[in-house]
A and B are shown apart, each in its own frame.
Chain A
Amino acid sequence: MHGFANPARFLRIARWLMPLCMGTGIVVALAALGWGLFAAPAERLQGETVRIVYLHVPAAWLGMAGWMGIAVASFTELVWRHPLAGIAARACAVPGAVFTAVCLITGSLWGRPAWGTWWVWDGRLTSMLVLLFLYFGWMALSQASEASDGGQSRAPAIFGLVGAVNIPIIHYSVTWWNSLHQPPSITMGKSAMSAAFLWPLLFAMLGFTLIFAGVVLARMRAILANQQAEARLRRKALAEGDL
């Protein structure tokens, strides 16, 4: 476990893994979007508006995956005091919040032609909006703890774990409660979505997931570099003080 805890080792891996994820992610996501937007067929009832699914579903998945990343990192930080865990959680927050916002915006644009409304206070939509606010709260708390005690506080990790309760609520909101949002089309091993929509969608999800991983790795490297620079400045200041 602690073999991977070594930031130097992590940096060696991240140096080549980050551009690899980012590069393949951008290529796959652009190809999948091109496929979905131009080559895939229109839907029987929804027509051309169905194409927004190729952005909406990957964004929804990564908005939720971002918080799952925060939750796993928080658990690791609380139990094993892993030095990279807090950094990983901080790196997940901004891309997770951005994808959650993209999901809400594309969903709203899709809701107008498909349902006849931009927004309803329905279980699925509301729990997703709560996720966006959880991200904002988490980022504020993490920044405050960073500013006050250099990130020693465990409060963001506890918040990260408690907030994870929202993830199954989002997922099951359409099964537990009558909802305007339809139940999931893609479940374990089967799909109510014709293959003509499913394949470009799966590739779009893969591409955006790789981009997400690339962004998280880049942000982790940046946070580590920042910490090293600060430590160096502190040592320098101490050494000059001694003279």
Chain B
Amino acid sequence: MAIKAKHQRLVLLAIALVVLIGAALLAAWALRNQASYFYVPSEIVADPPSPDRAVRLGGMVEKGSLRTEPDGVTIAFAVEDGNARVPVVFKGIVPSLFVEGSGVVAEGKMATNGTFVADNLLAKHDENYVPREMQNMTDAQARKVVAETK
């Protein structure tokens, strides 16, 4: 009898856990767009947010796109995700990890001319950790060395 009660508890608890995990997964699924910290360029291009709405734009700083405006404090660059690109302007001090080809999250608004006006920039680094000795290598070379040392 004691064994039966134990098994009953085990089965009930297993069912409760399955239901709980299912509910959590459904909630996470429902949140999949709302809980994202930023939009990628293809989402912005496909469905441009209205100019009065503050949004975050995240992606890679397009190589060769970064330039400083004549006033010396405004920078212009493009954020791309491989499918689309969005031009961005920003006035202020950039984080030290902000370089061409690296990840960035820009907070700001979409101007009516299709340019994203950022009022804050956050640098986003990737999951690759490479020693400083390899800094003169290209990203592809460095990644290859890391892959070989695992």
**Stretch from A12-20, A91-99, A173-181, A219-227 contacting the other chain:** A173-181
A114 to chain B, nearest CB (A): 6
- Tell whether A228 is near chain B: CB-to-CB under 8 Å: no
Name, among B24, B37, B95, B105, the residue most crowded by chain A CB atoms within 10 Å (CB to CB).
Answer: B37
Place the interface of chain A in its size category. Answer: 35 or more
A197 x B129 contact (CB < 8 A)? yes
Number of interface residues of B (CB under 8 A): 47
Partner of B9, one of A42, A78, A114, A177: A78
Chain B residue contacts of A176, Cβ below 8 A: 28, 32, 35
* Contact code string A170-205 (vs B, CB < 8 Å = 1, else 0): 001000111110111100001111111110000000
- Tell whether A169 is near chain B: CB-to-CB under 8 Å: yes
A57 to B25, CA, bound (A): 25
* Contact code string A142-171 (vs B, CB < 8 Å = 1, else 0): 000000000000000000011001001100
| Sample of 10 A–B contacts (CB below 8 Å) | A43-B129, A44-B131, A45-B97, A114-B97, A161-B13, A176-B35, A182-B124, A191-B150, A192-B126, A192-B128
A residues with a Cβ closer than 8 A to B are 41-47, 50, 53, 75, 78-80, 113-117, 120-123, 161-162, 165, 168-169, 172, 176-180, 182-185, 190-198
